[in-house]
Structure 1
Amino acid sequence: MASFELSAFQPTRDLSIVAAVESPANGIIQLGFWLNDPMQQIIWGDTVAGHPRRDYLWEQTCFELFIGIKDIDDYIEVNLSPSGAWQSYHFEEYRYPETTPPPINSKIELVELKRTGFGLTAAIDINLFLHHYKVAMKDVFLGISAVIQTAAKPHYFAMQHSSPEADFHNKRDWLHQF
């Protein structure tokens, strides 16, 4: 299991996030997000049943996973809401197509999504994605990020920020490879 202390785009002492990722050989990515929110300022949103797919989850507290493949422009964005909703989008290259919301991706499946006392855990099956591109887990790299909404403002966390603005689509900031 690899873990990362996510970096806030605008530093804050009031919030911190540690993310962990693991992928056994079966093509299931397991994620965990642990938040430190001593002032209890995170807005979590209302819970929904049945893990529906919903667009615009990034407008509220949302945990994100970006899945790319070495030497291929295409990538997947996965949004995981502590409400229980989720969504997955397909991009052909950096932020393209430019439609909002982006085209829905059907090559991954949500196995599990749970809000916990300290954050969120999820399991995502990427076997169809791997089969479609004819690649193995060793060819996959990940970006892990989060939008944390508080009453004051949204906070943007990622593995690193190398752009002048918070930009989770920047592949230079996707640091985990299996």
Structure 2
Amino acid sequence: MLRLHPFQQDARLQGIVLEGHLRWVGDQLLLQFRLQGPQEELVCPSQTATPQRLDGLWQSTCLEAFFAVPGEPHYWEFNLSPSGDWNLYRLEEYRRGLRQEQGMGISAMSLEREVLGSAVQLKAEVALDLGETLRAEKTLEGSLTAVIEQKGVGCSFWALQHCGEEADFHRRESFTLGLQKEAPSA
């Protein structure tokens, strides 16, 4: 797993560890996240029995992935709340033309929450079905990001790499993960 880093270093973030992994296998993008932090401080909505596709998840703790075809202006943004609620958007170019992506969706999701003393650990695994949309492609570029909300602190912005003077997950130069399509195992 790769470690994500906060945009701004802050002593109040020292107890938080966030890691993620992203693979492209067949027609699925496989995401894994592990978030651990002080139970009394992290804002992590409880898991819902029936996760829904919702807007505005990034306004609180939200695990995210961005991916794109190299050289193409359009890209996708996936959002996952610790509650299991999610959404997937397509943007036509940098921060423009945002719409829900209807040709892709979640084919499997697992969320685990564990209390470890005074800490809470959240593990999330998601299989995102890319459908027909990217079937002909062989290479994608991507990024793993997150918004982490803490009580009394607000939101901090986490990414594998921050590429600007402000936290901005949409900057294409931060899509540093080169993803080669792997064949599904038999």
The answer, yes or no, to whether TM exceeds 0.5 is yes
Q: Aligned with 1:37: secondary structure?
A: strand
Q: Aligned with 1:30: secondary structure?
A: strand
Query: Any residues of structure 2 matched to 1:117-156 within 5 Å, and which?
Result: 117=113, 118-119=121-122, 120-131=124-135, 134-136=136-138, 139-151=139-151, 152-156=153-157
Aligned Cα RMSD in Å? Answer: 1.5
> C-alpha offsets along residues 65-122 of structure 1, whole Å, 9 cap, x if unaligned?
111001100101111111111111110100002xxxx311112110122321332221
> What's the offset of the Cα at 1:40?
4.2
What is the alpha-carbon distance in structure 1 between the residues aligned to residue 27 and residue 111 of structure 2? 22
Question: What residue number does 2:101 align with?
Answer: 105
> C-alpha offsets along residues 124-172 of structure 1, whole Å, 9 cap, x if unaligned?
11132213xx322xx2111110001111211110011111111000111
Query: Any residues of structure 2 matched to 1:43-58 within 5 Å, and which?
Result: 43-58=43-58
Question: What residue number does 1:5 align with?
Answer: 3
Structure with more contact order per residue of length (Cα contacts < 8 Å, sep ≥ 6): 2
Query: Any residues of structure 2 matched to 1:36-115 within 5 Å, and which?
Result: 36-38=36-38, 40-97=40-97, 102-115=98-111
> What's the offset of the Cα at 1:39?
5.5
> What's the offset of the Cα at 1:49?
2.7
Alpha carbons 1:51, 1:113 under 8 Å: kept:
no
In structure 2, the CA distance between the partners of 1:7 and 1:108, relative to structure 1 (3 Å rule), is: same
TM-score normalized with structure 1 length: 0.87
What is the alpha-carbon distance in structure 2 between the residues aligned to residue 61 and residue 52 of structure 1? 16
| Structure 2 residues without counterparts, runs of 5 or longer | 114-120, 180-186
Q: How many residues align?
A: 167
TM-score normalized with structure 2 length: 0.83
> What's the offset of the Cα at 1:29?
1.6
Question: Percent identity among equivalent residues?
Answer: 26
What is the alpha-carbon distance in structure 1 between the residues aligned to residue 33 and residue 41 of structure 2? 17
Structure showing greater Rg: 2
Q: Which has the higher strand share?
A: 2
| Structure 1 residues without counterparts, runs of 5 or longer | none
